[in-house]
Structure 1
């Protein structure tokens, strides 16, 4: 019987982690962070491969990973066009030891959180692997290359063509200078690089999905094939009340690479007590889980710590439902962009602070806009209680290549994030980006329908918005973008059922039809998912900022926001809303906060405008 790679008692409590682990729902007791100072070179002539840079970088600069080279925080601060960049660092024997390599965990994995857009990786000049997709994680087994107790040179080549509009890119500008609603690019490594040691057969991925109010479905992917007689053990615990919620064992066939199991939560069968455990923004209760792989003799060969939230989401009778009851989605648009570090957060603590600020401003939800956010932001949303909409970064061309690239990356994003209870809605398209002629083009209509249905196939437990803002077909929620700045006009547009009928049967506020290709109003919830966008720069009357409308001073700004929210609150049919936007972002000055995350008026005044009460 083999010993576990680490005693179960040493596994961290996933629901109470400090927010540093780059994969917060699958944690082992040890891992090695490779962020920090690396060597770096631009390769504008694309000669690095021929020159042998895969074995090390000559005459290199220093960069701070994971900050992109366009950003000040990286130490490079070069925002121009640079299609190819190179990174290098030493992976020491101490790094491998910190990752936990031992007799029982001999396999060393190299993880990348995200590299935009295409990455190739070498160790000591030997090719390790490659990955395409700028917003999703990937992993390589590097055991044979780093297991000798010596130091080794890790090299990464990243290619991100700013002119290739088939790449899913979100708000990253294809012009050299940021313009309109697009921002500086993020090239290369922008999420954590780390090492982890695992057993020869190990738990590679977990997916938790609700199976009604009294059970959860767990899918487990394995790395390596289990020995005969192996079992999977799942133990749930509600740490908040020191309550054991039960343990279940499942046989694992020797040919299996994945295991699916429904885990009952017996105490939830009593309807009188189910609210004590369910997750919501008001009561973000998390259930801790230990998932163990056992051999035929009952010995633990691998174990990971995880967590989940017991909650359901859905739509019915014009309402968004959380745990079976109507819930008013009061959301804010968040670009996830920082002035000094771009798409990478300036620190791990900044991710927690972002969630806290959103809640302090009076919001219950956040629409992550055109970005697959760092998993640690999702963890703090789970932990502190914030609903999230997950949205793919769009491409800007419709072609076979663009379809293949975005579909693959979106599938990986859904797979990565489906376990987070905070994430309640999927958004595969926004404002017809990449499907510019979807109103009339049958091919683009087929693509939009197909990706929406594919999302449902991957995750049938959440509503899907087919094309946020306009030109929707088979959407579970009908969403509208309307930047009308006059609260009285907005109130008339969304007043009652007659207004709803006019909105959905005619042209939308942006001159785009809300429903296309014969799509019918089936009584879905209607949400105003972009509105506001009022520019205001405290302390100046300069006109160098951009917004959909503009306020002259703080009093005028608060009055305008209040009038818009009064219109939303007065509507008899709107099931939710999303204000644009959380922070000023580069040339856009329409945030509730400055780019440095400072409120533009006393936060109590903003909260009262958003909530209609203190």
Structure 2
């Protein structure tokens, strides 16, 4: 077992052989007076603490566990760059740093990044000394009270409250080094087309790669499917490959939660001398998401979505999973409870989680962390981070939908405010412009504008009451069945699929904290309410899916099917039987 925390490869759908994990013990300092830049801490400072990266200082696993406000923090560590990497370009990667990061190497400023949920990197080659004394310094500014900053479920008050929890500040995903040649592949977008039996490949290259040749080799289960060689005449190379093979009964191996088939693909970049200058290993899934006659289709067939809300918090480590095994366990337990997907709520999830959803078969609705006070500054930052999310996660077949906003958070007056309405429409169409392969929800819960799905949040406790209220579809989609109008003023229902995307939230009386509705005394009472609500939703013919709240307790919110430390409160087989209509 590795002594390095989170030792696994951090970018599992774009893999190169050589890399160096920088997780582990870093020097650390609080800078509550924000004097570090003026005093040039990046050039020399006696740091008084250490921290265990990639865990935030608020978490126990960081070795600090201080949940009080510290809005400016610093990190430093030595870099032992392998001598064998000389002659390469050395890229310093950060999986995520919340919220605004500045980076120096050997006192030389490398750059900055704003946004706490997406990766960024710098070419640090020219700042290296290669003498064993190289060091990296990071400053993170994360203003704990700032509601214009995308923060998701991180409390902006001194303490957690309602459904907002302890903060995650600074570095919270893996930091790592990677050597590349000047001529290399920057990124690849793979778009499956199951109707044609092809995958469209769009490769982005460095300027030095122009004139090279790119070879793509596709296989499935060790069986060769296709091999294509294309000239790199410019930095953007686009080509289409047929993946229909007589080696398989129906020609194509489609991806679904029940059959998570993945094609392997390698990309090899060869220079004009015939030398290999880059080699990347990846994968893709052949799947299609579409809408027809008020139903969501997966691979051209109606697919009833049984989702569970998952906030991705962990005891002792907050937003950072303590291990790869913890991520895998959450996925396996989700499936054990009889769900075929998750609505990842207010968190841009770790790429390793998405990798295992691809591998094990679990649908994912992706969602950006909300800000809570509308302004042009907040709006611009939010759009920028959404663009980075789509670039990072485009190739994951598990993701079938993007949730642009949740419950009008960040756009509190969207019901009547034309500016905020226009902004939600702009975000939805920006997402569509970058990704036409997935559905986009404008504002999950209520007050929709331009949306591909009509999604509703309703926490009533009685199944028969729910069945009665939702019996008349026209009244539902044109009204306010749960207290807020489903569509904002000036917008209306246009035949979109209807789903109940938050319901339940049942808590036990024995749990210290809160849930939705009255707490239940025991398993029998829990199952009676859970079954009543779930059966009612499944009995309404125009509703084509649901999302139960939620997978686990999170701190003071104790309405999970599992405790915060992942102990099931109810036998998963009993929940599964209800979800599958067998009980």
TM-score (norm 2): 0.96
RMSD: 1.8
Tell me by how many angstroms 1:545 deviates: 3.4
What is the distance in 2 between the residues matched to 1:133 and 1:422? 24
Tell me by how many angstroms 1:197 deviates: 0.3
Tell me by how many angstroms 1:268 deviates: 8.2
Please point out which of 21, 38, 61 is paired with 1:50: 38
Kindly indicate whether residue 554 of structure 2 is the aligned counterpart of residue 571 of structure 1.
Answer: no
Answer yes or no: is the 8 Å Cα contact 1:488–1:563 preserved in 2.
yes
5 Å matches for 1:541-556? 544-556=513-525
Deviations 1:528-584 (A, max 9, x none): 0000011126xx3x6643434421112211221111111111111111100000100
**Structure 1 residues 71 and 19: CA distance shift in structure 2, 3 A:** closer
Please point out which of 233, 238, 244 is paired with 1:266: 244
Answer yes or no: is the 8 Å Cα contact 1:429–1:466 preserved in 2.
yes
Please point out which of 225, 234, 242 is paired with 1:245: 225
**Alignment partner, residue 304 of structure 1:** 280
**Alignment partner, residue 564 of structure 2:** 595
**Alignment partner, residue 401 of structure 1:** 377
**Alignment partner, residue 198 of structure 2:** 215
How many residue pairs align between the two structures?
577
**Alignment partner, residue 60 of structure 2:** 72
Kindly indicate whether residue 345 of structure 2 is the aligned counterpart of residue 356 of structure 1.
Answer: no
Answer yes or no: is the 8 Å Cα contact 2:90–2:179 preserved in 1.
yes
Answer yes or no: is the 8 Å Cα contact 1:318–1:524 preserved in 2.
yes
Tell me by how many angstroms 1:269 deviates: 12
Answer yes or no: is the 8 Å Cα contact 2:27–2:47 preserved in 1.
no
Answer yes or no: is the 8 Å Cα contact 1:46–1:84 preserved in 2.
yes
Single out whichever of 258-267 and 396-405 deviates more from structure 2: 258-267
Tell me by how many angstroms 1:520 deviates: 3.0
Answer yes or no: is the 8 Å Cα contact 1:464–1:475 preserved in 2.
yes
Deviations 1:415-473 (A, max 9, x none): 11010000000111111111110111110010011110111100011111111111112
Answer yes or no: is the 8 Å Cα contact 1:86–1:156 preserved in 2.
yes
**Alignment partner, residue 90 of structure 1:** 78
Kindly indicate whether residue 507 of structure 2 is the aligned counterpart of residue 527 of structure 1.
Answer: no
Answer yes or no: is the 8 Å Cα contact 1:546–1:587 preserved in 2.
no
Detail structure 1 runs of 4+ shifted over 3 Å in the superposition: 542-549
SS of the counterpart of 2:537?
helix
Kindly indicate whether residue 164 of structure 2 is the aligned counterpart of residue 190 of structure 1.
Answer: no
**Structure 1 residues 56 and 348: CA distance shift in structure 2, 3 A:** farther
**Structure 1 residues 19 and 195: CA distance shift in structure 2, 3 A:** closer
SS of the counterpart of 1:550?
coil
Tell me by how many angstroms 1:406 deviates: 0.2
Tell me by how many angstroms 1:296 deviates: 2.8
Please point out which of 150, 154, 158 is paired with 2:140: 158
5 Å matches for 1:412-561? 412-495=388-471, 499-509=472-482, 511-536=483-508, 540=510, 544-561=513-530
What is the distance in 2 between the residues matched to 1:19 and 1:34? 9
Answer yes or no: is the 8 Å Cα contact 2:505–2:515 preserved in 1.
no
Single out whichever of 260-269 and 399-408 deviates more from structure 2: 260-269
Q: Which runs of 5+ in 2 are unaligned?
A: 1-5
SS of the counterpart of 2:237?
strand
Q: Which runs of 5+ in 1 are unaligned?
A: 1-17
Answer yes or no: is the 8 Å Cα contact 1:70–1:187 preserved in 2.
yes
Answer yes or no: is the 8 Å Cα contact 1:211–1:262 preserved in 2.
no
TM-score (norm 1): 0.91
Answer yes or no: is the 8 Å Cα contact 2:28–2:47 preserved in 1.
no
**Alignment partner, residue 172 of structure 1:** 154
SS of the counterpart of 1:426?
strand
SS of the counterpart of 1:436?
coil
SS of the counterpart of 1:518?
coil
**Alignment partner, residue 613 of structure 1:** 582
Please point out which of 16, 20, 25 is paired with 1:32: 20
Answer yes or no: is the 8 Å Cα contact 2:193–2:286 preserved in 1.
no
**Structure 1 residues 113 and 465: CA distance shift in structure 2, 3 A:** same
**Structure 1 residues 325 and 160: CA distance shift in structure 2, 3 A:** same
**Structure 1 residues 544 and 249: CA distance shift in structure 2, 3 A:** closer
Answer yes or no: is the 8 Å Cα contact 1:57–1:88 preserved in 2.
no
**Alignment partner, residue 10 of structure 1:** none
What is the distance in 2 between the residues matched to 1:521 and 1:49? 53
**Structure 1 residues 56 and 288: CA distance shift in structure 2, 3 A:** farther
